[in-house]
Amino acid sequence: MERRNFIKNTAVSGIAIAGLGGAMEATASNSKISNEAKFKLKYAPTLEMFKEHAGADPIDNIKFIADQGFRAVYDLGLINKPAALQEKIANEAHRLGLELGQFSLKIDWSVQTFVLNNADIREMLKKKMQIGVDLQKRTGINTALLVPGLYDLKLSWDYQTANVIENMRMCCDIAGKTGLELVMEPVNTLTNHPGVFLSRMPQAKMICVAVNHPSCKFVDDMYHQQITEGNLIPNIDMSWDYIGAFHIGDNPGRNEPTTGEINYKNIFKHIYDKGYKGILSCEHGKSKPGKEGELAVIKAYREVDSFEV
């Protein structure tokens, strides 16, 4: 794929120009910017976000993402890719100046894991940590995501919380030896994931405080938290020291910003003003199909990134 030519070389150039017209307005003064201009924050599309334009090759997707002005990219499924491909993806991202966002440790969270005091569970977690450390060494990614799994209806909630704390501390002791940061993800129980143990930001912060390890952080997935508790900006402030990453998705629909009820422009300005330098992963779908939908995503991020600094 030739770089920086998707607008003028695609068969749908008319659609592309129309779709990007609004996205090219950088400020209220309507000054124009190119699609190469860098975003203020490190919004990180997935390697599959723009496959209609870039194709199936992850390297071509990385090039396309860089060409649109994004400063980061991520792949939650990176741990399942061959080691050689992991290194190739990392090398290309680094070459183009893109930061790589967190990978998932792929700990099965459709079952009870962290809530249990169980020797087999602990051995499984130790193996997952080592796989994560090996991936960190190959790619330079220093953040790994996990979900603590389901809760146990037969066990007191406080005992489960104590078990999660002990299991997280064990995992952090392993990951911390190489500086790998573990970010727990609270997810909503009302729309997508009934039965999960970790669902709220105050709960996640409490666990981090109790674990008391520099490798223990959590993800603020703003889609999930809008459903679960709302109050997004105050919760960001109250949990700030323990937020290791952000996930983006509007509600309802879990698509790109501007398609739902969340005022992402104000939220991103708040995060920017607080000095956040980390990744904001674009963990959402597209409100429209095909190339038009991909252009709508780029336009949406230009819009919400146009806050004044």
Alpha helices in the chain (DSSP H): 6-9, 13-21, 51-54, 58-67, 83-95, 119-139, 157-175, 201-211, 222-228, 232-239, 264-273, 290-304
**Alpha carbon separation from 109 to 36, 47, 122, 159, 223 (Å, rounded):** 39, 23, 15, 19, 19
23 near 298, Cβ under 8 Å? yes
**DSSP codes joined into one string, 45-61:** -BTTTTHHHH-S-HHHH
Residue tagged active-site, from 185, 292, 294, 303: 185
* Known active-site residue 99: no
* Known active-site residue 185: yes
Peptide bond into 148 cis (omega under 30): no
Token digits of residue 284: 């959402």
User: What is the distance between the alpha carbons of residues 201 and 271, in angstroms, rounded to a whole number?
Assistant: 16
**Alpha carbon separation from 127 to 148, 170, 299 (Å, rounded):** 16, 12, 42
Residue tagged active-site, from 283, 294, 303, 308: 283
Q: How many CB atoms lie within 10 A of CB 192?
A: 12
The amino acid at 272? Y
- Which residues, 6+ apart, have CB-to-CB distance to 196 below 8 Å? 109, 147, 148, 149, 150, 151, 187, 189
Active site positions, annotated: 185, 283
